Amino acid sequence: MSLVERAIDKLRASRASDKPTQPAQIGAIVDDGHERELDATTSSRIIHVSRDALRGAGYLPEAGQDRRFADQYRQLKRPVIAAAFAPPQGNANPRLVMMASALPGDGKTFTSINLALSMARERDVSVLLVDADTPKPHVSQIFGVDTEKGLIDALADEKVDVESLVLPTDVAGLSVLPAGQQRDGVTELLASGRMRQLVERLCDSRKRRIVLLDSPPLLLSSESRALVSNMGQVLLVVKSGHTPRQAVFDALEYVGEGHAVSLVLNRGSERLNEDYGYGAYGYGDNAN
Protein backbone atom coordinates (compact mmCIF):
# COMPACT_ATOMS: atom_id res chain seq x y z
CA MET A 1 0.00 0.00 0.00
CA SER A 2 1.39 3.41 -1.00
CA LEU A 3 1.87 6.38 1.30
CA VAL A 4 -1.09 8.21 -0.19
CA GLU A 5 -3.33 5.13 0.08
CA ARG A 6 -2.46 4.84 3.78
CA ALA A 7 -3.20 8.55 4.25
CA ILE A 8 -6.57 8.22 2.52
CA ASP A 9 -7.51 5.12 4.55
CA LYS A 10 -6.60 6.92 7.76
CA LEU A 11 -8.66 9.94 6.73
CA ARG A 12 -11.68 7.83 5.88
CA ALA A 13 -11.44 5.97 9.18
CA SER A 14 -11.30 9.20 11.15
CA ARG A 15 -14.27 10.58 9.23
CA ALA A 16 -16.32 7.50 10.04
CA SER A 17 -15.78 7.99 13.77
CA ASP A 18 -16.13 11.78 13.90
CA LYS A 19 -19.39 13.67 14.05
CA PRO A 20 -19.96 15.80 10.94
CA THR A 21 -19.15 19.46 11.45
CA GLN A 22 -20.40 22.53 9.64
CA PRO A 23 -18.10 25.43 8.75
CA ALA A 24 -18.80 28.73 10.43
CA GLN A 25 -21.28 30.89 8.50
CA ILE A 26 -19.93 34.35 7.68
CA GLY A 27 -22.56 35.49 5.18
CA ALA A 28 -26.30 35.62 4.70
CA ILE A 29 -28.70 36.76 1.99
CA VAL A 30 -30.41 40.05 2.81
CA ASP A 31 -32.97 42.14 0.97
CA ASP A 32 -31.29 45.41 0.13
CA GLY A 33 -34.62 47.14 -0.37
CA HIS A 34 -33.65 48.75 -3.67
CA GLU A 35 -31.86 47.83 -6.84
CA ARG A 36 -28.22 48.75 -7.27
CA GLU A 37 -25.43 48.21 -9.76
CA LEU A 38 -23.68 44.96 -8.90
CA ASP A 39 -21.29 42.53 -10.57
CA ALA A 40 -23.95 39.90 -11.13
CA THR A 41 -27.51 40.22 -12.41
CA THR A 42 -29.05 43.34 -10.85
CA SER A 43 -31.06 42.20 -7.86
CA SER A 44 -32.18 43.44 -4.47
CA ARG A 45 -31.13 40.11 -2.95
CA ILE A 46 -27.46 40.21 -2.04
CA ILE A 47 -25.13 38.27 0.24
CA HIS A 48 -24.01 40.32 3.20
CA VAL A 49 -20.45 39.29 4.09
CA SER A 50 -19.47 39.93 7.71
CA ARG A 51 -15.75 40.60 8.06
CA ASP A 52 -16.09 40.31 11.83
CA ALA A 53 -17.51 36.83 11.36
CA LEU A 54 -14.72 36.04 8.90
CA ARG A 55 -12.16 37.08 11.48
CA GLY A 56 -13.89 35.22 14.30
CA ALA A 57 -14.08 32.03 12.25
CA GLY A 58 -10.37 32.18 11.44
CA TYR A 59 -10.70 33.20 7.80
CA LEU A 60 -9.01 36.54 8.42
CA PRO A 61 -6.09 37.37 10.73
CA GLU A 62 -6.13 39.65 13.73
CA ALA A 63 -6.30 43.31 12.76
CA GLY A 64 -2.58 43.86 13.37
CA GLN A 65 -1.68 41.24 10.74
CA ASP A 66 -3.98 42.51 7.97
CA ARG A 67 -1.24 44.16 5.91
CA ARG A 68 1.05 41.12 5.87
CA PHE A 69 -1.89 38.86 5.04
CA ALA A 70 -3.02 41.14 2.21
CA ASP A 71 0.52 41.29 0.79
CA GLN A 72 0.73 37.50 0.67
CA TYR A 73 -2.50 37.28 -1.31
CA ARG A 74 -1.31 40.00 -3.66
CA GLN A 75 1.62 37.74 -4.48
CA LEU A 76 -0.79 34.87 -5.12
CA LYS A 77 -3.22 36.77 -7.31
CA ARG A 78 -0.81 38.69 -9.57
CA PRO A 79 0.31 35.70 -11.70
CA VAL A 80 -3.23 34.31 -11.72
CA ILE A 81 -4.68 37.58 -13.03
CA ALA A 82 -1.85 38.02 -15.52
CA ALA A 83 -2.44 34.52 -16.91
CA ALA A 84 -6.22 35.04 -16.93
CA PHE A 85 -6.00 37.91 -19.40
CA ALA A 86 -3.05 36.66 -21.43
CA PRO A 87 -3.66 35.07 -24.86
CA PRO A 88 -4.99 31.52 -24.37
CA GLN A 89 -2.43 28.75 -24.75
CA GLY A 90 -5.01 26.04 -25.42
CA ASN A 91 -8.74 25.47 -25.81
CA ALA A 92 -9.67 26.33 -22.21
CA ASN A 93 -10.37 29.90 -21.14
CA PRO A 94 -7.59 31.07 -18.75
CA ARG A 95 -10.20 33.04 -16.79
CA LEU A 96 -11.51 29.69 -15.55
CA VAL A 97 -9.44 28.97 -12.45
CA MET A 98 -9.82 25.77 -10.41
CA MET A 99 -8.73 25.76 -6.77
CA ALA A 100 -7.74 22.19 -5.98
CA SER A 101 -6.04 20.09 -3.32
CA ALA A 102 -4.86 16.52 -3.08
CA LEU A 103 -6.61 15.80 0.24
CA PRO A 104 -8.97 17.55 2.67
CA GLY A 105 -7.46 19.88 5.26
CA ASP A 106 -4.89 21.49 2.94
CA GLY A 107 -6.55 24.92 3.12
CA LYS A 108 -8.24 24.89 -0.29
CA THR A 109 -11.53 26.55 0.62
CA PHE A 110 -9.77 29.04 2.91
CA THR A 111 -7.52 29.98 0.00
CA SER A 112 -10.44 30.18 -2.44
CA ILE A 113 -12.32 32.65 -0.26
CA ASN A 114 -9.35 34.87 0.46
CA LEU A 115 -8.07 34.83 -3.11
CA ALA A 116 -11.55 35.81 -4.30
CA LEU A 117 -11.69 38.67 -1.78
CA SER A 118 -8.23 39.83 -2.82
CA MET A 119 -9.00 39.72 -6.55
CA ALA A 120 -12.26 41.60 -5.98
CA ARG A 121 -10.18 44.56 -4.76
CA GLU A 122 -8.79 45.04 -8.26
CA ARG A 123 -10.24 48.07 -10.05
CA ASP A 124 -10.59 46.36 -13.44
CA VAL A 125 -11.39 42.78 -12.41
CA SER A 126 -14.39 41.08 -10.87
CA VAL A 127 -14.47 37.55 -9.51
CA LEU A 128 -17.18 34.92 -9.38
CA LEU A 129 -16.59 32.33 -6.66
CA VAL A 130 -18.25 29.06 -7.73
CA ASP A 131 -18.90 26.33 -5.18
CA ALA A 132 -18.02 23.29 -7.28
CA ASP A 133 -17.24 21.14 -4.23
CA THR A 134 -20.56 19.41 -4.65
CA PRO A 135 -19.96 16.59 -2.11
CA LYS A 136 -19.14 19.09 0.65
CA PRO A 137 -20.32 22.58 -0.39
CA HIS A 138 -18.46 24.53 2.28
CA VAL A 139 -18.39 27.79 0.32
CA SER A 140 -22.20 27.72 0.09
CA GLN A 141 -22.50 26.97 3.81
CA ILE A 142 -20.02 29.66 4.79
CA PHE A 143 -21.81 32.32 2.73
CA GLY A 144 -25.23 31.16 3.95
CA VAL A 145 -26.51 30.10 0.51
CA ASP A 146 -26.53 26.31 0.84
CA THR A 147 -30.32 26.18 0.32
CA GLU A 148 -30.19 28.29 -2.85
CA LYS A 149 -30.27 26.94 -6.38
CA GLY A 150 -26.89 26.88 -8.06
CA LEU A 151 -24.46 25.01 -10.29
CA ILE A 152 -26.01 21.55 -10.01
CA ASP A 153 -29.50 22.87 -10.76
CA ALA A 154 -28.29 24.69 -13.89
CA LEU A 155 -26.45 21.56 -15.05
CA ALA A 156 -29.54 19.39 -14.59
CA ASP A 157 -32.01 21.74 -16.29
CA GLU A 158 -31.03 23.16 -19.67
CA LYS A 159 -33.82 25.74 -19.42
CA VAL A 160 -32.06 27.43 -16.47
CA ASP A 161 -29.75 30.34 -17.26
CA VAL A 162 -26.82 29.85 -14.89
CA GLU A 163 -26.20 33.59 -14.75
CA SER A 164 -29.63 34.03 -13.13
CA LEU A 165 -28.41 31.93 -10.17
CA VAL A 166 -25.32 34.07 -9.50
CA LEU A 167 -25.72 36.00 -6.24
CA PRO A 168 -23.98 39.36 -5.77
CA THR A 169 -22.37 40.25 -2.45
CA ASP A 170 -21.95 43.57 -0.71
CA VAL A 171 -18.21 43.25 -1.41
CA ALA A 172 -17.68 45.21 -4.60
CA GLY A 173 -16.53 42.98 -7.45
CA LEU A 174 -17.41 39.67 -5.73
CA SER A 175 -20.31 37.36 -6.54
CA VAL A 176 -21.05 33.74 -5.61
CA LEU A 177 -22.61 30.81 -7.45
CA PRO A 178 -23.86 28.24 -4.88
CA ALA A 179 -23.38 24.52 -5.37
CA GLY A 180 -27.13 23.94 -5.62
CA GLN A 181 -29.29 21.03 -4.63
CA GLN A 182 -27.73 17.58 -4.36
CA ARG A 183 -28.81 14.84 -6.75
CA ASP A 184 -27.51 11.61 -8.29
CA GLY A 185 -25.13 11.66 -11.23
CA VAL A 186 -23.30 14.87 -10.35
CA THR A 187 -19.97 13.58 -11.71
CA GLU A 188 -21.56 12.94 -15.10
CA LEU A 189 -23.14 16.40 -15.05
CA LEU A 190 -19.78 18.03 -14.33
CA ALA A 191 -18.16 16.05 -17.14
CA SER A 192 -20.90 16.89 -19.66
CA GLY A 193 -21.00 19.28 -22.58
CA ARG A 194 -23.54 21.25 -20.57
CA MET A 195 -20.81 22.08 -18.04
CA ARG A 196 -18.63 23.52 -20.79
CA GLN A 197 -21.57 25.64 -21.97
CA LEU A 198 -22.17 26.94 -18.45
CA VAL A 199 -18.60 28.00 -17.74
CA GLU A 200 -18.37 29.65 -21.15
CA ARG A 201 -21.58 31.54 -20.36
CA LEU A 202 -20.16 32.71 -17.03
CA CYS A 203 -17.04 34.02 -18.75
CA ASP A 204 -18.82 35.57 -21.73
CA SER A 205 -21.31 37.52 -19.61
CA ARG A 206 -18.52 39.60 -17.98
CA LYS A 207 -15.40 40.19 -20.06
CA ARG A 208 -13.28 41.18 -17.04
CA ARG A 209 -14.59 38.43 -14.75
CA ILE A 210 -12.41 35.65 -13.35
CA VAL A 211 -14.38 32.50 -12.51
CA LEU A 212 -12.81 30.78 -9.49
CA LEU A 213 -14.08 27.28 -8.74
CA ASP A 214 -13.60 25.69 -5.33
CA SER A 215 -13.41 21.96 -6.10
CA PRO A 216 -13.37 18.69 -4.12
CA PRO A 217 -10.02 17.08 -3.21
CA LEU A 218 -8.58 15.40 -6.29
CA LEU A 219 -7.69 12.09 -4.63
CA LEU A 220 -11.02 11.54 -2.90
CA SER A 221 -13.56 12.44 -5.57
CA SER A 222 -14.38 11.83 -9.19
CA GLU A 223 -16.14 15.22 -9.35
CA SER A 224 -12.92 17.24 -9.21
CA ARG A 225 -11.31 15.16 -11.94
CA ALA A 226 -14.37 15.79 -14.13
CA LEU A 227 -13.88 19.54 -13.70
CA VAL A 228 -10.27 19.69 -14.85
CA SER A 229 -10.88 19.36 -18.58
CA ASN A 230 -12.66 22.73 -18.78
CA MET A 231 -10.20 24.69 -16.66
CA GLY A 232 -7.68 27.21 -18.00
CA GLN A 233 -5.68 27.34 -14.76
CA VAL A 234 -5.36 24.93 -11.82
CA LEU A 235 -4.05 26.06 -8.42
CA LEU A 236 -3.07 23.11 -6.23
CA VAL A 237 -2.93 23.97 -2.52
CA VAL A 238 -0.32 21.95 -0.61
CA LYS A 239 -0.08 22.21 3.16
CA SER A 240 3.41 22.04 4.58
CA GLY A 241 3.87 19.13 6.99
CA HIS A 242 0.40 17.81 6.18
CA THR A 243 0.11 16.80 2.52
CA PRO A 244 2.11 13.63 1.72
CA ARG A 245 4.62 14.15 -1.09
CA GLN A 246 3.23 11.21 -3.04
CA ALA A 247 -0.27 12.67 -2.74
CA VAL A 248 0.95 15.83 -4.48
CA PHE A 249 2.48 13.79 -7.31
CA ASP A 250 -0.69 11.71 -7.66
CA ALA A 251 -2.86 14.84 -7.74
CA LEU A 252 -0.68 16.31 -10.49
CA GLU A 253 -1.09 13.10 -12.46
CA TYR A 254 -4.86 13.43 -12.18
CA VAL A 255 -4.66 16.98 -13.56
CA GLY A 256 -2.64 15.60 -16.46
CA GLU A 257 -0.58 17.15 -19.18
CA GLY A 258 -1.65 20.20 -21.13
CA HIS A 259 -2.91 22.21 -18.14
CA ALA A 260 -1.35 25.25 -16.49
CA VAL A 261 -0.76 24.11 -12.90
CA SER A 262 0.57 26.25 -10.06
CA LEU A 263 1.39 25.07 -6.56
CA VAL A 264 0.29 27.14 -3.57
CA LEU A 265 2.28 26.19 -0.47
CA ASN A 266 0.27 26.70 2.70
CA ARG A 267 2.65 26.97 5.64
CA GLY A 268 -0.05 28.16 8.06
CA SER A 269 -1.31 26.89 11.38
CA GLU A 270 -4.49 24.90 11.93
CA ARG A 271 -6.31 27.98 13.21
CA LEU A 272 -5.22 30.50 10.61
CA ASN A 273 -3.60 29.54 7.34
CA GLU A 274 -1.72 32.81 7.08
CA ASP A 275 1.59 31.99 5.44
CA TYR A 276 1.70 31.21 1.72
CA GLY A 277 4.12 30.69 -1.12
CA TYR A 278 3.49 30.37 -4.83
CA GLY A 279 5.24 28.45 -7.57
CA ALA A 280 4.66 27.03 -11.01
CA TYR A 281 4.60 23.35 -11.90
CA GLY A 282 4.69 22.98 -15.64
CA TYR A 283 3.19 20.33 -17.87
CA GLY A 284 3.86 20.46 -21.59
CA ASP A 285 3.59 23.64 -23.62
CA ASN A 286 0.94 25.13 -21.34
CA ALA A 287 3.08 25.40 -18.22
CA ASN A 288 2.24 28.40 -16.11
The three-point CA angle 150-77-221 to 5° equals: 45
Residue 67: the pLDDT is 82
CB burial string 63-84: b at 16+ within 10 A, e below: eeeeeebeebbeebbebbbebb
Q: By three-state DSSP, how is residue 177 classified?
A: strand
Structural domain for 153, as ranges: 24-286
Instruction: Tell me the C-alpha distance between 124 and 126, whole Å.
Output: 7
Residue 257 above 70 pLDDT? yes
Q: Categorize the per-residue pLDDT at 17 as very low, low, confident or very high, splitting at 50, 70 and 90.
A: very low
* Spatial contact of 218 and 247, defined as CB atoms under 8 Å apart: no
In a domain, residue 12? The reply is no
Residue 54: the pLDDT is 83
* Spatial contact of 90 and 3, defined as CB atoms under 8 Å apart: no
Residue 9: the pLDDT is 54
Helix (H) or strand (E) holding 141: helix 138-142
In a domain, residue 198? The reply is yes
CATH number, domain with residue 193:
3.40.50.300
Please state the domain count of the chain. Answer: 1
In a domain, residue 9? The reply is no
Residue 70: the pLDDT is 87
Residue 25: the pLDDT is 64
Residue 286 above 50 pLDDT? no
Residue 22: the pLDDT is 58
In a domain, residue 250? The reply is yes
In a domain, residue 17? The reply is no
> What is the value of pTM for the model shown?
0.82
- Residues 218-223, mean pLDDT to the nearest whole number: 92
Residue 60: the pLDDT is 77
In a domain, residue 238? The reply is yes
In a domain, residue 261? The reply is yes
In a domain, residue 11? The reply is no
Instruction: Tell me the C-alpha distance between 265 and 222, whole Å.
Output: 24
